[in-house]
Amino acid sequence: MSDLTLTTTRQRPFDPPDEIAELRPKAAIHRMTYADGHLGWLVTGYSAARAVLADARFSNRPERMHPPIPARMALAQEGGFRVPPGFFLRMDAPEHTRYRKLLTGQFTVRRMKELEPRIAQIAEACLDAMEAAGKPVDLVQEFALPIPSLVICELLGVPYEDRAQFQEDTKVLVNLEVKAEDAVGAMTRISAYLYGLIQRKRAKPTDDLLSGLVESGELNDEELTGVAFLLLVAGHETTANMLGLGTYALLTNPAQLAVMRDDPSAVENGVEELLRYLTIIHLGPIRSALTDVEIEGQVIKAGESVMLHLPVINRDPSRFPDGEHLDLTRPATGHLTFGHGIHQCLGQQLARAEMRIGYPALLRRFPGLRLAVSPEEVPMRSDMSIYGVHRLPVTW
């Protein structure tokens, strides 16, 4: 046993829990007791984290993982962590490679740049609607969620008018307190919806990513459903939280907000810095050793789970000096928010494009944008697997 267990409770909204941050100066890797009693590891150092993520001797398969917090126990026991066909995020090479290779051509830097004019149109339309709705508004509902949701729906070929159910189900899936039967229900509903959509694409192809995948003939309908599931959920839940939490961070840091709003040359790096500073992936990734592996002097035994605490890792002073502070002008590339190794985020160039367009568009449209509640009243997503704000009431 180890005295260390994982907490998700934060003392301050933008900083990782003090109990975890205080471990980093002591060592890069620590013994941690998982919720099922497993004695595994917690990584808090940058170079150790990169080493784990780049090492093929660590598996990403969910059935090999131990749950780091009690809230995830029930789901694991219900078999909720079984990998559906095509859900390649939780597969190892070479199985993973086959799916990823089919998709990488769709998410290149160049293709995402070509999408920018369309993303800008979508952002402006959301801002028009927000202005028309009148102040105050919940920025999550009017801006942070609709932009990535509209973009991923259009890219995949998922009808946006169907969003109510899959957005609701996604919320259930990322809720850490969810009951196992509710999670299974949400997963089943999204899969059934997407399976039906794949059938319709097969019968009547349209000009979108899912139709292209169907026509490629490489995947069966169950695999296509798993791929579509992964892209749809990952495509809107993540960037939506970055847009919401990032705006909250900027509104409480007026000097940084001014940089994002007024200096177009600072936007690209500013987005990297927000990704680093906010690190919305606050519960993992987790890997399990397939064989004994030595990482920075510690031997991780076969079968042991290793959780990487990315919010703490992305503030490691050996890589990011003065990393506790938000500074949009610091060199911020190299953060691990999108991961590292073969599972590094497939949609990262899309996420970057959405943020490079979204933040400045919002701040220029509403130069007087401010919180409509006091900062401590903003409800934080400590209870969700992707961190962020539940709501962000703003006025202008």
Partner 1 sequence: MEIKADTTVCIGAGMCALTVPAIFDQSEDEGTVVVLDSTPPAELEDAVRRAVTLCPSGAISVV
Q: What are the residues binding partner 1 (CB under 8 A)?
A: 53-54, 100-101, 103-110, 333-334, 338-342, 344-346, 348-349, 352
CB of 343 to partner 1, least distance (A): 8
Backbone torsion region of residue 238, taken as left when φ is above 0, otherwise alpha when ψ lies between -120 and 50, otherwise beta: alpha
CB of 302 to partner 1, least distance (A): 23
The smaller minimum CB distance to partner 1, of residues 105 and 254, is found at 105
The smaller minimum CB distance to partner 1, of residues 191 and 238, is found at 238
The smaller minimum CB distance to partner 1, of residues 114 and 296, is found at 114
The smaller minimum CB distance to partner 1, of residues 208 and 383, is found at 208
CA angle, corner 373, sides to 371 and 378, nearest 5? 90
The smaller minimum CB distance to partner 1, of residues 194 and 234, is found at 234
Whole-angstrom distance, CA of residue 382 vs CA of residue 386: 8
CB of 105 to partner 1, least distance (A): 4
- Dihedral angle computed from the Cα positions of residues 76, 175, 60 and 192, in that order, rounded to the nearest 10 degrees: 80
Q: Which 8-state DSSP code applies to residue 281?
A: B
Give the residue among 270, 284, 274 at the shortest CA–CA distance from 343. Answer: 284
Q: Which 8-state DSSP code applies to residue 65?
A: P
Structure tokens at 143: 């801006």
The smaller minimum CB distance to partner 1, of residues 22 and 114, is found at 114
CB of 239 to partner 1, least distance (A): 16
Exposure string over 25-63, b if 16+ CB within 10 A, otherwise e? eebbbbebbbbeebebbbbbbbebbbbbbeeeebbbbbe
Greatest distance between any 2 Cα atoms in the chain? 59
CB of 222 to partner 1, least distance (A): 23
Whole-angstrom distance, CA of residue 156 vs CA of residue 209: 5
CB of 234 to partner 1, least distance (A): 14
The smaller minimum CB distance to partner 1, of residues 30 and 356, is found at 356
CB of 136 to partner 1, least distance (A): 37
Whole-number Cα distances in Å, 87 to 99, 102, 114, 155, 210: 9, 13, 27, 18, 15
